Structure 1
Amino acid sequence: MAKRGMLIVLSGPSGVGKGTVRKRIFEQDDNKFDYSVSMTTRKMRPGEVNGKDYYFVSKEEFEQEIANGGMLEYAQYVDNYYGTPLKYVNEKLDSGKDVFLEIEVKGAMQVRKKCPAGLFIFLTPPDLMELRQRIINRGTDDMATIDKRMNKAKGEIEMMQNYDYAVVNDEVDKAAEKIKTIIRAERWRVKRFLPDYKKHLGDELK
């Protein structure tokens, strides 16, 4: 039976660049992670692909998945649902694959309760003014929605204390490399290394 894979959770406030950093990691030749595509009820943005960036569904479809127990996590954010389908994640982890989640803060806290052995990384902006400008530059929200996102972001940044590591997204390439370094180091953390090492030694430890 394959060793169960590691669950890697990248989270942070809306507009911080989670998707951009995650895509940069996945574009690189040494990427060996499986990306769990999230489900959302928000409208598709220009350039996004259904089933690749998100599974875009109706509110009714999403709520049916919740009722059926089919979500690892979900949250309602600025009038839209976001969440992670449970079946895909479990299948990949059980097969020995490392699964990479890019999710909102509320969802990450749900996963932390269900999967405490996961690796939780918080992506944060250099400062709030920079975050606001990034959201404005995206050009997808009106000013009222931007104000909602900024108020939400302040509370989300306070949740950083519940994560294992924090990375400042000042430059995409640097942030991606820092995350990869954290993941490499995490594989050798004693709590992950020791169980398999004991199995390898077998009777020698008795």
Structure 2
Amino acid sequence: MVPRSRGRRAGRHRARQSDPGRRHTADDRRLRRSGSVHRSRRQPERKNRNFEYDAFDDRYATFLLDEVLRRVDEIAPTIDDPASRGLCGGSSGGNGSVTAAWHRPDAFRKVIALVSSFAQIPGGNPYPRLLATTPRKPLRIFLQESHRDLGWDEAEYNWLAENLRTAAALAEAAYDFRLVLGEGAHTGNHGGVLLPDALRWLWRD
């Protein structure tokens, strides 16, 4: 028979081993002491979607036109008019939508971009420079951003700052755009509430 005190210790040991929350808490403490958490905040882990949506090129627009819209048109024909087509996305899908319209304004001219990830475009956010040096394109853009988006108080990889820089560049280049700031973090809650108004604003004429 196992002594009562030893059995209790063994039970507590088994509980600690089987409780993932305890392990994660301990791991978080070790990471904070080593500084790894801070480094991971400043440099997000790269995932496949970063290459698909964050890349500053026309691949996403080409995919939409050559594969997605072609298939949709077989089922329900769409209007072949760039002024009648819009793109909407959140996070990487937000800047991905802006990039698709930027490269193919002949196909897409309206954009809703929610808590966009301009901060993690490979090579940095190109829009402040491009908007200042490129002739104005026929785009109408609705931006939504949260005050406490990712890295909002960081010098690098600051989602809030890059959204504000993009909005400022749109204003200075006299684009037809709107920026709505709200409370919250990197979520779609605020954007979801704004979506009906954003759609009405984009198609107001």
TM-score bracket, normalised by the shorter chain, equals 0.3 to 0.5
Q: Indicate the structure with greater helix content.
A: 2
Q: Indicate the structure with greater strand content.
A: 1
TM-score (norm 1): 0.34
Q: Which has the higher contact order (CA 8 A, sep 6+)?
A: 1
TM-score (norm 2): 0.34
